[in-house]
Amino acid sequence: MIQRVSIRIIPLALLLSASILAYPQLSNQGYATNYGGGTITGGSYSSEITTSQFGGIPKSENFGFYLGFAAFNMESGTITVQARSGGSVISESTSNVLLRIKNSGRYDTLDVLSSNSGDFSFNPVFVGDYLINVDSDPDKYVATYYGDAFQWEEADVLELEGDTATGIVMTVVPPELGPNDGDGNVSGTIEEDFEDDGSRINARRRAAKRKCGLRRKRSGGRTDQNNDEFELISYGETNNNGEFEYGFLPEGTYRFFVEYPGIPLDESSFVEFDVGAAGVSDNSFVLAALVTETGITVELILGITSEFFTEFNIYPNPTVDAIHIDYDKIISEKMTMELIDMNGKTILSREIKKSKNGSIQVDIKEYQNGQYLLRFTDTDKSRTALTFRVIKQ
């Protein structure tokens, strides 16, 4: 297939606009085009390649190309997908996303396609490594990736070498929980803090319509096993204000997740917690997730975990001079308490040993007014136990 490709290149202050016939290849090694003539090797350019039949290649990539006059075939392919459930192609309309895997491990959205059913084809794209996501009726199905996974970290990579037909088995929405299942409740907010396009100014905002949910450790798993399986128990998306809530949770160990393909969840933050009567003073948890270019962190705003503490209380909040911490029992052998400012700097650190009926006072009257994080870490396990947001007035 011969295609004319328009390439615009802006190296520093020089703008070069040309139409050439090229032989592009797109892979996880980057872009390259081959021609038997002279060579120009690209550095970091702001570039864009478009054709009438092929989707755009994202800007700001490194690539080399050869200019010439002879025509070559372009290596590309069409991806055809059948989204299935119960052995049949689903009849519900679908919203489908094709993501290209970049050298950095991050993802670019190459195509967004709506279809009247689960049988569809994306526009032709260059050969390379891709991720596919299919979303359909939220009352029936969980948005599912190629490889039959509902989290991007567990999805399979589609290595496109030509026209490809494949299938995705949709994840079914878990049964709705009710009062007879449990009394646990998890709610919270998700915020994004990304650099605006064309500027270095961060724009922190609530994340609306973001997929998130809870996985629960399967019955019988021992808490000291790192490879215990977690099954999906609650799933949904944030509202227009970036808020989520899951109720009637039965006793168990839970993991919170939120979907941002290519952005990892900080495992050291508060992503795993216990719901249950034994050793837990309150089964209501309020979480705050922050998504940046480098990762997703989760803070516990309200709630107690039986693995680390029992009967834990922080007051007053806000405060003008000191924070008081009372607890019935510290279960961990050794804890570290840190006071962290909003720039991420630790301004106070103190070790706390295993004890009962304890009380701690943290003097903060010399610090500037504003918000701080009070973080407790299990030193031996290197895991965050609790994180509270405190306000100094």
- State pLDDT tens for residues 71-124: 333 578 999 999 999 999 999 999 999 999 877 667 888 899 999 999 999 999
Q: Using CA atoms, how far apart are residues 154 and 264, in angstroms rounded to an integer?
A: 12
| Position with higher pLDDT, 262 vs 75 | 262
Q: Using CA atoms, how far apart are residues 181 and 216, in angstroms rounded to an integer?
A: 13
Q: Which of 390, 385, 392, 378 is nearest to 312 (CA)?
A: 385
- Which phi and psi (to 5°) does residue 153 adopt? -65, -25
Tens-place pLDDT, residues 29-77:
333 333 333 333 333 333 344 444 444 444 333 333 333 333 333 578 9
**Least confident stretch, 62-71, 288-297, 372-381:** 62-71
Which residue has 């026209």 as its token pair? 163
Residues 6+ apart with CB under 8 A from 53: 3, 123, 124
> Residue 202 pLDDT more than 80?
no
* Tokens coding 251: 């006793």
Q: What are the residue ranges of helices labelled H in 6-136?
A: none
Residue 346 and residue 377 in contact, taking contact as beta carbons nearer than 8 Å: no
DSSP state of 154: G
Tens-place pLDDT, residues 217-245:
886 444 444 446 899 999 999 999 999 99
DSSP state of 247: E
Tally of CB atoms within 10 A around 286: 15
Average pLDDT of the chain is 75
Torsion from C-alpha of 58, 150, 305, 221, nearest 10 degrees: -140
pLDDT value of residue 300: 76
DSSP state of 57: B
pLDDT value of residue 198: 52
Q: Which of 62, 47, 53 is nearest to 2 (CA)?
A: 53
Residue 387 and residue 269 in contact, taking contact as beta carbons nearer than 8 Å: yes
Give the pTM: 0.62
Q: Using CA atoms, how far apart are residues 194 and 203, in angstroms rounded to an integer?
A: 6
Domains of the chain are 4-64 (no CATH), 77-172 (2.60.40.10), 174-301 (2.60.40.180), 308-393 (2.60.40.3080)
| Dihedral sign from CA coordinates of 346, 350, 351, 353 | negative
Is 65 exposed, middle or buried, given 0-12, 13-18 or 19+ CB atoms closer than 10 A?
A: buried
Q: Using CA atoms, how far apart are residues 75 and 125, in angstroms rounded to an integer?
A: 9
